[in-house]
Each structure stands twice: as C-alpha cells, then as structure tokens.
Structure 1
C-alpha cells in the first residue's frame, strides 16, 4: 500500500493532507488503513473526553478513580504512540521529548 503524508493537530483531532489547511503539530506518513485507524483513535479520544466532562466538576471525584478518565488517557496515549510510529524523525523526537509514552514506544 502507498503511504501519503498527513499533517496532524492533536488538540483538534484533525488529520489532513494539506499542510497549509491547519496549524499542524506533527507530520506522518500513513497508508489508508493506518489513516483510518488514527481517525478511529481520535474519535474514541473525543468520545471519552466528552463522557469524562460529566464528572469533572465533582470535587470529591479523584481523576484516576474514574474509569472514563482512564479510558481517555489510554486513547490519547494510543494516539501519540501511533503518531510516533508513523511520524518523521522530527515528530518522533518531539513525542519522545514529551515523555508521554509509558514503557517506551
């Protein structure tokens, strides 16, 4: 399968082919299947983010005791793990400098 270059903004969950269309953070090369998998991870991250908002205002709720928060963290980490795997050298170095990936890559 042929790989295409994509530009990613994690904050907005956007993955586009045009580098001028958004203020991107990372550059990756992905097949159509890898692109689809990344899109699914962004969707899961968004879904769990919205679900965790409902409990975020509860002062007695501890962040990690909430299963939804744990799911959000999991999917966000998987997004960064995928970006690291598909990214160019600059993308890989940036993600490694963030120390977001537990137990290596």
Structure 2
C-alpha cells in the first residue's frame, strides 16, 4: 500500500502490521515471526483487531476445556463452532478492509464471504 493508498482510508496515522491469524499475532516487525497478511491500521483499529484475536483465543480455550471435561460432546458443539466461525469472519473482514492489495486478493481467494 502506498502513501496515496493510506490517504484513501482517511487517516494518515496508519501503520503497517504483519498478521498471523493462525497464531493470533499482530506484528510491527516483518521478520519477528511468520505472518500471513499485511494490514494498515490506526491505533483504534489495532486495538479492535487485538480484541477480536483475544475473543478467538478465549473461544479456543473454552473449546479445549469443554472437550477435556466432555469428551463425547454435547448439543452445544455446533453453537460453539458457529461462534468461532463468526469471529474468524469478523477478523478476515477487518483484514480485508485494511489490507494491502495482496492481502485483499488472498482473502478473496479464500471465498469466506
């Protein structure tokens, strides 16, 4: 994304971040860890994306605890999976909205929405 592209979002205070959805990481340093997508976020958007990753992490922990305590599942498994999928959708929508052109093409190829 060029400086011109940054202006299209209406905020010049955006910074480039490298995101791994799988790891739930938002990194400033491209070399710090493996990442999947590149986005440009202002502070408020960064916080919101971090909150979505925290929600996803909490959902993962709840699912792990539930599996250990109820290894044969319950009627609520589908509801939990739907909640997990909904958070993933929200994360990818934010990443698409603020992503580089390459990020947008990648998300489009995933056919999530």
Global fold match (TM > 0.5)? yes
Structure 1: 5+ residue stretches without partners: none
Per the alignment, residue 90 of structure 1 pairs with 102
Paired residues in the alignment total 99
Distance 1:51 1:89, change over 3 A: same
Contact 1:51 1:68 in 2 (8 A): no
Unaligned runs of at least 5 residues, structure 2: 1-10
Q: Can you list the C-alpha shifts for 1:1-41, whole angstroms capped at 9, x where unaligned?
A: 50000000111100011101011100000000000000000
Write the distance in 1 (CA, Å) between the matches of 2:62 and 2:88: 14
Which has the higher Rg, Structure 1 or Structure 2? 2
Q: Determine if the alignment matches structure 1 residue 81 to structure 2 residue 93.
A: yes
Instruction: Provide TM-score, normalisation by structure 1.
Output: 0.84
The alpha carbon displacement at 1:70 in A equals 1.6
TM-score with structure 2 length normalisation?
Answer: 0.79
Kindly report the root-mean-square deviation, in angstroms, between the aligned alpha carbons of the 2 structures. 1.8
